[in-house]
Amino acid sequence: MAEKKRLKDLTLWEKMYVPEVVKGLKSTMKQMFQPRFTMEYPEVKFEPVGSYRGRPVLVMEAGGEERCVACGLCSRVCPALAIEVQAGETDREKERYPEKFEINMLRCIFCGLCEEVCPEEAIVMSKDYELTFSNREDAIYGKDKLLKPITELQDRIDFLRSNK
C-alpha cells in the first residue's frame, strides 16, 4: 500500500524554515504601517449607536414630566432586583406617578428587560457608559439622576420602534 501523504507533511521549501520565516516577518512589517485601531479614550470618547445598552434612564417629556405611570413592571421583571418603585396619586388624567424611583447601579446588569417590559416606553437604555461612584450610597440612582430629556434618547427610541 502506498504511503498516504498527510496534510501536515511539509514540502522541502517549507522545511527550510528561512523562506517561511521571511514571509512571517514581511507580514508583521506590513502591519506596522497600517492605520492604528486604538481610540485614545479619555481624550477621544466612544460614541455608541442606538442599539447600545448603557445605563437605564427614565424618559422625561418636553414638559419636564416623566412618562412613567409607576406600574412596577420593571421592578417585577428585573432579574437583579435593582429597581424600586413607589407610586403616588395625581389628580390628573394619568392618575399615578412614581413618588420614588430608584435603580441600584451596583446591582443593574444592563440586560434591558425593564425597557422591554415597559408599556409606556418610559424607561429606556441610554448611551451613558461612564458610571463611577466612590461609595454604595452614591450607587443608588434616584429620580434626579434617572430623568433624562426625551431629545437625548431619540436614537434609542427610534431603534426600539424599528425592532417592534
Partner 1 sequence: MEMWFAFVVALLKVIIIAHVVLITVSYLVYFERKISAWAQNRIGPNRVGPAGLLQPFADVLKLLLKEDIVPTNANKKIHTLAPILALFVAMGTFAVIPIGPSITLFGIVNPFVVADVNIGILYVLALTSIGVYAITFAGWSSGSKYSLIGGVRSSAQMISYEISMGFSIAGVLLFAGSLSPQMIVESQSGLMWNALLQPIGFITFVVAAFAETNRLPFDLPEAEPELVGGFHTEYSSMKFAGFFLAEYANMIIASSLIVTLYLGGWQVPFLEKLGLSEGVNAAIQVGSFFVKMGVLLFFFIWVRWSLPRFRYDQLMDLGWKVMFPLSLLNVVWAAVLAMWIK
Closest to 14 (Cα-Cα) out of 23, 6, 5: 23
H helices of the chain, in order, are 12-15, 18-32, 73-77, 113-117, 143-146, 154-162
Residue 41, Cβ neighbours under 10 Å: how many? 8
C-alpha distances in Å from residue 12, one per residue of 17, 23, 77, 102, 108: 9, 16, 64, 70, 59
Of 1, 2, 9, 38, which one interacts with partner 1 (CB under 8 A)? 38
State the binding string over 39-78 for partner 1 (x if CB under 8 A, else -).
Answer: -x--------------------------------------
Q: Enumerate residues 18-37 that contact partner 1 by CB under 8 A.
A: 18, 21, 24-25, 27-29, 31-32, 34-37
Nearer to partner 1 (CB atom), residue 25 or residue 81 = 25
Cell of 1: 500500500
- Min CB(47)–partner 1 separation in Å: 20
Q: Which three cell numbers stand for residue 37?
A: 485601531
Site for partner 1 in 79-138 (CB under 8 A): none
Choice between 21 and 131, CB closer to partner 1: 21
- How far apart, in whole angstroms, are the C-alpha atoms of residue 132 and residue 11? 57
Closer to partner 1 at the Cβ: 31 or 134? 31
Binding interface with partner 1 (CB under 8 A): 17-18, 21, 24-25, 27-29, 31-32, 34-38, 40
